[in-house]
Amino acid sequence: MTRQNSFQAIEWTDSGLLLLDQRCLPHEQHYLCLQDAVSVAEAIRDMVVRGAPAIGITAAYAVVLSARQHLEHNPDNWQARVQQDVKKLAAARPTAVNLVWALQRMQQRLARSEAEPAACLLEEARQIHEADIEANHRMGGYGANLINKGDSVLTHCNAGALATGGYGTALGVIRSAWAAGKLVNVYAGETRPWLQGARLTAWELLQDDIPVTLVTDSASAFLMQGGKVQWVITGADRVAANGDVINKIGTYSLALACRYHGVKMMVAAPLSTLDMAMPDGQQVAIEQRPTDEILKFSGHALAAAGATAWNPVFDVTPASLVDYLVTEAGIVAAPDREKLAELHDQAPVGHSSSQNS
């Protein structure tokens, strides 16, 4: 596979599925070898792997593990057992539409009742993985073409090779623009409470010798006010039919600050992230994670005893605040319902999101 980054976060082996445990970064590069779908669902839920495309790819490989396990131990009803595992995987991180999209792809392949089903499912999972990497490279090129020489960018959370099959969505654009000699500075918001920007994006860019400057999330608007960035570039966990973007909490506030300060807002997301069955972002159920992620850090209390917390993982950025949506099929300026419907209709079979997701 063509990656053009110096590490692999997801790798299939004969022994099982290797996942780079992102909870241990940046201090330790530790891989888990998972051999059953239930363990993969737990890894997705526990943030061993995160990022919408990466979650979808990981779940696809988990279906292969499920088929191998149940073909060996439950040959008479193995398909029913696989379907049970698929339900567990789908419930692991429900906001990311790529998860359901990838599982639907695997179920469609499973339904063909081919000889050697585990091998056929592995072929499908590898196709999903390879297609994501290729899509990221195309997005990187398209997005980099929008950037002027001498520009600086700010990114949020981690939308790189760690969050995808390889290369990255938002970081794919940044990688391509950096390679073209266009960027002066790359800023990364630290991204509370999991610090994906500080722990993951900074680590990933430095692995590929791209200098990065961290800023606190609350400093982003002041950075824009000083004219230090011309672009904010993020990924997306889901894009609704009207162009609303569901992404890591904090994306909405960045988009508002961008509009006020005249900074361009670019969202880089594969076609598999488009959810044409979701009319707008307000209809999406936003995942809530445990309050201890805010009240504590590494097991130590940060807040005053008795304080409570609100911990939504994602927010909704209205389409009207997005200047450019970049996909592997091209650039959509000022995305709206009509433009996304046209993009969806023109997308190659197997690359667009399901109408039933």
Q: Which residues pair with 186 in a beta bridge?
A: 153
Closest CA to 12 of 63, 51, 48: 63
d(CA 243, CA 325): 9
What single-letter amino acid sits at 202?
A: A
What is the Cα gyration radius of the chain?
20
d(CA 157, CA 247): 9
The three-point CA angle 4-214-44 to 5° equals 60
Q: CB count, 10 Å around CB of 91?
A: 12
Q: CB count, 10 Å around CB of 254?
A: 26
What single-letter amino acid sits at 258?
A: C
336 included as an active-site residue = no
Closest CA to 316 of 352, 280, 269, 276: 280
Place of tokens 């999972």: 125
- Which of these is catalytic: 237, 244, 315, 323? 237
d(CA 310, CA 328): 35
Q: Which residues pair with 288 in a beta bridge?
A: 312
Helices (H) and strands (E) in the chain, counts: 12, 16
d(CA 81, CA 66): 8
- Residues marked active site are found at 237
